[in-house]
Every structure is written in C-alpha cells, then in structure tokens.
C-alpha cells in the first residue's frame, strides 16, 4: 500500500516554513535563484555511506553552480512526510529524497506539485501494485551495483583463507539485495574458474533469503550479525547496511584477520577502519546529484532515469589501498578482465533488483 502524505503534516510543515522564512530562511528566492533541497534517510548526513555521499553532491552543486540549498535530516520514517512537505512549501526547484524508503513520499509530493521537480536516489517509482510509473517532474537516480559487487565477490573469495565469506543487509529492499546478488555471483565465478568451493554465508541468491539487521541505524545489531558470521568461519564480510556497517567493522577489527568490503563510498577514505577494508563497492552518487542539479538549473530536467553502471563510472570498485600488495597480481588482472567484459556486454550480471 502506497503511503499518503497527510493534510495534517502539510499544514504543520507550512506553518513551520512560514515561520522560518520570516527569520531569514532560504524559502524566498529571487527569480534567478535556484533552490536545491534534500531530505535524508534515517541514517543521517554523517552515515559514512549513501546519505553522506548524496549530501556531498548537493554541496558540490552549491560550490560549483552557485545554487542555494535547504536540508532536512530524517530521524525515522515518520519524518519523511513532514520533511518533504517542508521543501514543497519552500518552493524548492528540485528536491532529492535519499533512499528507497522515501519513494512513496517523494512520489506523492511530485504528483501533487507538477510545477516543482523531484529526484529519488536509489529507487524508481511505482503504483500501488508495484508496477513502474513515470512522472514528468521526478527523476530516479539508480545504480547497478551488482556489476561492481560481482568484482568484489571475486576478490573476496580469492582473498579468503578460511574458504568462507559473508554478507548481510540492513533492510531487504532492492537497493540492498542488488549488492548481495552481485557479490554472490562473483564468489561463484571465482569458484568456477579456480575449481574452489568458497562458501557464501548470509545470502542465498536463488531463494532471495538471508541475514538483515532490520534497519540502517543499529550498529549493535551489525556487530552481532558480523560476530555470528565470523563464528561460522567467514573471514571477508560485506555489510550492506549504511551506518550499521560500522558495527560490523568494530566486530571485524576485534576478531583480527577478518576483512571487510564496504559499500556506497570508499570505506578506506570514509571510515576509521581503513586497515581492514579490502575494497569497496562504490556508487558515484555525488556526480549524479550534481549533474541532475545542473540539468534542472539549465531548464533541461527530464524524468529519464539515471542508471549508474561500470561503463559510465556510476559504480565501481575502489582501490585495494592497504591490501594492494596482498591481492595477487593474477587476481587483479582477472578482475580487470571481468570489468571489461561487463562493460562491453560479453558478461551480464543479473539480479532481480537490476534497475531498468
């Protein structure tokens, strides 16, 4: 069932914004000004993952394009409606919702405000039955992370000394499971090519079943799931759970001889756990956000989805950093070969969640 933005929340947001505008807020803009706005998922702007990457993209637009900005940080699902309503009342030229969980709220706002533009990071739009829909004033920014996660799965399997690797997600939604599907296939590819039998714990691609923390905030749960995977023998683990991954990193650090694959951003650069991060499956969210703002600012906004791939560098595998000398040269070359095959179309990485 699609969630509806309530009239009560709209009224409340209107009152808040009118008050804010009277005290120097950015709601009143000159005709030539462009107000770019963004509403976070519940992980917050400093999640060292997709919220933070999205925020960096909007900041780049402020710095490079001279736009104004307005931000709303969500503490939970209940904040989504009021936060988006706030942006509507400010008359934001373009409002980004960060994350799959904001789909319903952004879609409802776009349908109700055809004179304003919206963008949704990490999800497309759909009707009440789950069928895809196109909105003239709303643009999905999605990423085929299965491609880069496939490469990470291959490296993880090649780097495992125990013969077991693991993964878990935050919530079982397409933008999470797409990582896990690609990772699974990469492990499988390593096994096929090297006559090995590295096991993947935490995710069964065929059954679409696995381990999930239940949200993107509870680092303690991430720590507990990681300890469970480690107790089962996994020595390379990929958490796909935003800030929950920091709990995984703490558990891996404590265990010693356990490596992580980070997601969304380069975890070596973004977190304090760089010395245990083998590599990262990166989404180039900042560029996608800045480019979308530039299009809208020039009056060239379209509803055509942006799909990040290996080919357009919208997704990628981060450097090995501290593990550069520990990943064998033949593995590095094989990963480069697989990447080229994915880009030229001779190798297709499939997932139920692949963006169309």
Helix or strand or coil: residue 228?
helix
pLDDT, tens digit, 9 for 90 and up, residues 67-76: 999 999 999 8
Confidence category of residue 12, pLDDT binned at 50, 70, 90: very low
Does residue 197 or residue 49 have the better pLDDT? 197
pLDDT, tens digit, 9 for 90 and up, residues 195-247: 999 999 999 999 999 999 999 889 999 999 999 999 999 999 999 998 999 99
Long-range residue pairs from 3-10, CB within 8 A, at least 24 positions apart, any chain: 3/81, 3/104, 3/105, 3/108, 4/104, 4/108, 5/81, 5/84, 5/85, 5/105, 5/108, 5/109, 5/112, 6/81, 9/81, 9/82, 9/85, 10/85, 10/88, 10/89
pLDDT of residue 67: 96
**Nearest one of 134, 146, 214 to 174, comparing CA atoms:** 146
The answer to which of 32-46, 137-151, 328-342 has the lowest mean pLDDT is 32-46
**Nearest one of 8, 174, 39 to 118, comparing CA atoms:** 39
Neighbour count for residue 28 (Cβ, 10 Å): 12
The DSSP line for 10-39 is: HHHHHHHHHHHHTTT-SSS--TT--EEEEE
Instruction: Give percent of the chain with pLDDT exceeding 70.
Output: 91
pLDDT of residue 184: 98
CA distance 88 to 66: 21
Domain 35-143 CATH superfamily: Response regulator (3.40.50.2300)
pLDDT of residue 32: 53
**Nearest one of 128, 161, 178 to 356, comparing CA atoms:** 178
**Nearest one of 151, 161, 139, 215 to 189, comparing CA atoms:** 151
The whole-number average pLDDT for the span 256-274 is: 95
Q: Is the pLDDT of residue 356 over 90?
A: no
* Token digits of residue 278: 């083998």
The answer to which of 4-8, 189-193, 255-259, 315-319 has the lowest mean pLDDT is 4-8
The mean of the pLDDT values for the chain is 90
The whole-number average pLDDT for the span 21-36 is: 52
Does residue 256 or residue 93 have the better pLDDT? 93
What pTM value is reported for the model? Answer: 0.86
**Nearest one of 189, 255, 235, 241 to 210, comparing CA atoms:** 241
Alpha-carbon torsion (190, 279, 291, 36), positive or negative: positive
pLDDT, tens digit, 9 for 90 and up, residues 334-353: 999 999 999 999 999 999 99
pLDDT of residue 341: 98
| In the chain, domain spans | 35-143, 145-283+313-344
The answer to whether 35-143 and 145-283+313-344 have equal CATH topology is yes
The answer to which of 29-38, 39-48, 121-130, 280-289 has the lowest mean pLDDT is 29-38
pLDDT of residue 129: 85
Confidence category of residue 114, pLDDT binned at 50, 70, 90: very high
The whole-number average pLDDT for the span 21-30 is: 36
Note the Cα 200 to chain centre separation in Å: 22
* Token digits of residue 271: 């977190």
CATH no. for 145-283+313-344? 3.40.50.2300
Q: Is the pLDDT of residue 19 over 80?
A: no
CA distance 242 to 101: 13
């Amino acid at each position: 069932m699609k969630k509806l933005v309530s009239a009560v929340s709209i009224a409340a947001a209107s009152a808040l914004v009118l008050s804010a505008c009277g005290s120097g807020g950015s709601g009143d803009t000159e005709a030539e000004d462009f107000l770019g706005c963004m509403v976070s998922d519940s992980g917050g702007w400093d999640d060292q993952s997709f919220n933070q990457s999205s925020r960096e993209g909007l900041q780049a637009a402020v710095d490079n394009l001279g736009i104004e900005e307005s931000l709303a940080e969500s503490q939970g699902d209940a904040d989504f409606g009021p936060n988006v309503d706030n942006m509507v009342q400010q008359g934001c030229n373009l409002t980004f919702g960060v994350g799959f969980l904001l789909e319903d709220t952004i879609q409802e706002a776009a349908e109700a405000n055809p004179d304003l533009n919206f963008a949704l990071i990490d999800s497309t739009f759909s009707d009440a039955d789950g069928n895809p829909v196109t909105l003239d004033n709303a643009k999905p920014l999605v990423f085929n992370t299965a491609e880069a996660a496939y490469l990470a799965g291959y490296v993880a399997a090649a780097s495992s000394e125990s013969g077991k690797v693991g993964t878990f997600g935050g919530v079982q939604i397409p933008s999470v499971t797409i990582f896990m599907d690609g990772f699974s296939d990469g492990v499988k590819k390593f096994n096929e090519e090297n006559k090995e039998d590295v096991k993947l714990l935490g995710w069964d691609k065929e059954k679409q079943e696995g381990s999930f923390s239940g949200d993107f905030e509870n680092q303690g749960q991430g720590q507990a799931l990681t300890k469970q995977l480690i107790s089962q023998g996994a020595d390379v683990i990929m958490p796909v759970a935003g800030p929950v991954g920091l709990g995984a990193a703490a558990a891996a650090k404590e265990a010693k001889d356990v490596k992580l694959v980070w997601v969304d951003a380069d975890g070596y650069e973004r977190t304090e756990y760089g010395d245990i991060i083998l590599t990262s499956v990166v989404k180039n969210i900042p560029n996608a956000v800045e480019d979308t703002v530039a299009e809208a600012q020039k009056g060239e906004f379209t509803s055509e989805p942006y799909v990040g791939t290996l080919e357009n560098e919208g997704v990628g595998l981060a450097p090995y950093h501290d593990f550069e000398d520990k990943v064998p040269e033949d593995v590095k070359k094989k990963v480069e070969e697989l990447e080229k095959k994915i880009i030229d179309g001779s190798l297709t990485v499939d997932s139920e969640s692949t963006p169309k």
